[in-house]
Amino acid sequence: MKRGFKRFLIRFLKIVAALLVVLGLAGAALGAWYVSHLSGVVKAKFEGRKWEFPSKIYADSKIIYPGMYLSTDEVRDKLRRLGYRVSKARPRTKGEYRILGKNAVIEVYLHDFRYPLRDFRGFPVRISLKSGTIHRIQRLDDNEVLPSLELEPELVTGFYDRVREQRRVVRLDEVPARVRKTVLAVEDERFYYHRGVDPVAVMRAFLANVRRGGVVQGGSTLTQQLMKNFFLGSERTLERKVKEALMALITEWLYTKDQILENYLNEIYLGQNGAQGIFGIWEAARFYFVKEPEQLTVGETALLAGLIRAPNRYSPYRSAGEATRRRNVVLAKLVSDGIITRRAYEHALQEVFEKREPVRLTNSAPYFTDYVKKELAEHYSEDTLTAEGLRIFTSLDLEIQQAAEKALSEGLARLEKDYRHLRKTAKQDDLEGALVVIKPQTGEIKAMVGGRDYGKSQFNRVAQAKRQPGSVFKPFVYLAALTHGSAQGSGSYDSTTYVEDTPFTWSYGEKEWAPQNYNRSYEGWVTLREAMEKSLNAATARIAQDVGIGKVREMAYRMGIQSRLPLLPSLSLGAVEVTPLEMAGAYSALANNGVRTHLLSIKNVLDRDGDALEKRHIRVKRVLSPRVAVDVHNMLRGVVERGTAQRMRALGFTRPAAGKTGTTNDSRDAWFAGYTPDLLALVWVGFDRQSELGLSGSSAALPIWTDFMKRATSRLPVVDFVTPPGASARGADPRTGMVPGPPRNALARAVAR
């Protein structure tokens, strides 16, 4: 019995031993697998894409020059948005400026900026003003007088996926040694002596916490902090701490100290700017001090390093007192460790953080950026736009954009105040509008306002809404007449040709169409010029019938209209749906002496390293003879001086201008398309649900256009239109475009007798 029990016990112990060996081997294998798994996770992060970089949209740069009107208040606002800071003395470092005297001199030390295809190195410059006009622009370093000066483009917005992070990655050698030493002194002074986990720091933190009766100090190394930020989140559990420590050991085994420190300096969270997080040393230096890391003072460096523990608590934007106290703690540590001298310490204590509001990055042109994103989507995926850090340079002029937004918003509110029937009770049927601005010589879209409130409706009425243009379409009829002449053999047309403005019926197929004038009154025999100026429907329809509606449609397509145009007589009076953007593009050829420019919103696209991915060139095409273009242009000037748009002058806009009002027969849409030598703008007013507006283009759209143009051109010198050589009409008055003398066609001579 004893012998049997002994054999059983031995057999049992062997089984237990075998099980322990198996479990040990299994545990070892599982541990090895887990370490291998964590190693793979760490490698994937360090050697793959660590961060997502939103692509950024920039407005156009601003060119200033002698003779240009310049408001110092506007300059001050623009420099603030660009991140410049006020200096009491002459600007000595990049990003500083001051205004001297009674707004007579502006001194600026320009930022460096990487433009498409060139790098710009900033220099100090003085802008001298006389009576609100730029008198001279001169460099302060070598006294060179400059013919013009370019201010870097403003950042409009970024394309984000889920997390709105602002970060610019820098190499370790781009971070000054003082910044690196300060961060290590505060966060991990034994960084170069441990292997990822520091027992000395852990014990020191444990003793400090026991003495204070709470958690007042942490023992995590810089590498552990990086692992937490990269992979683990902020939950405080034993499991997370163990995993964090293990991953830190693996990271230190796989990568050098400098690689780890470089990633840490780019990863750390250092505050909040509205909805956007500030990450990394470079971004924080720009956000808090409008400087790059190498420009930081000792005190500023200490403040940034002190932020790491609690960025929002110690933010100088939130509490200058808390930030200063935390900075002083860091400075005391630096002088104690011998990183800075006692003299540097005393000097840094005297630094004062100047109270100012952070520059919020808000999308100041949401309809335009949506339009740009749609254009980019043809070549770039959503992932590329939200994660690859492209830099997109556009044609947008933010000052013109702001003027357009204000003019449309205030104009619609004014219409609702003046006309009770426009105040709809249903919010989804508020009075709406659209305004688009183009530089006709280049086709650049300078502003786009697709509605009165982007927060309520993201529908872009400039590019997406198809509405009937009414009389804004009429210039295409006159262009066809001057280009092709009569299809019935009655001769050619010019601005003095007479046409009959009386009721008539146009038969086509088995149908009939009888156009009527807007006010149901008729003028009898009138010249083409008078018919255009008074926007006479019957006369215009007679011209279209004589020329051929097919020629009218062909001309509209030639001018840039892309929507499908039905071959119907009513096409001559704009009874067809087009977008405001199409119509504005078509008018640009009239403003540019018959040369149509392809609409341009994106000028250059760079990758995150600044290398060019694409450059979109200005594309032009002559679509009208200069003579025909100038003839119709002069008619449109007459519309402003004597016709349906003469209210523009009563509203106080005195610069040379040309344009055309538009009102649909059902009174649902009001338009005005007009231009000066510098800018073309188109305004549409109506209801999304196509309720009756009951107002003409002159009453609803023209005042908004006028208000906008007064704002947008206020800083520009007054210039007149330039007629290309040989293009002016025979004997035309250069100011009015009027042609004296008898009319050309035989019918008109008979009428004149």
Query: Which residues are designated catalytic?
Result: 187, 471
The DSSP code sequence of 262-274 is: HHHHHH-EEEEET
What gap in Å lies between CA 196 and CA 151, rounded to an integer? 47
**Cα–Cα distance for residue pair 621/310, rounded to 1 Å:** 59
- Scanning 161-293, the segments in alpha helix (DSSP H) are 177-187, 199-212, 222-227, 238-254, 257-267, 281-289
Check if the beta carbon of residue 190 is closer than 8 Å to that of residue 200. Answer: yes
Instruction: Using CA atoms of 380, 381, 382, 387 in order, give the dihedral in degrees to the nearest 10.
Output: -80
C-alpha–C-alpha distance, residues 329 and 327, integer Å: 5
Cβ-Cβ contacts under 8 Å for 230 (sequence gap 6 or more): 45, 50, 263, 267
The residues with which 445 forms a beta bridge, in sequence order, are 438
User: Shortest CA distance to 284 belongs to which of 302, 308, 300, 304?
Assistant: 304
DSSP 454-504: TTT----TTTT--B--GGGGHHHHHHHHHHH--TTSS----TT-EEEES--
CB crowding 144-156: b at 16 or more within 10 Å, else e: eebeebebbbbbb
The angle at the Cα of 98, spanning 97 to 104, to the nearest 5 degrees, equals 130
Cα–Cα distance for residue pair 500/572, rounded to 1 Å: 16
Looking up tokens 């007064």 gives 710
**What distance, in Å, lies between the first and last C-alpha atoms of the chain?**
149
Residue with tokens 């050991």: 249
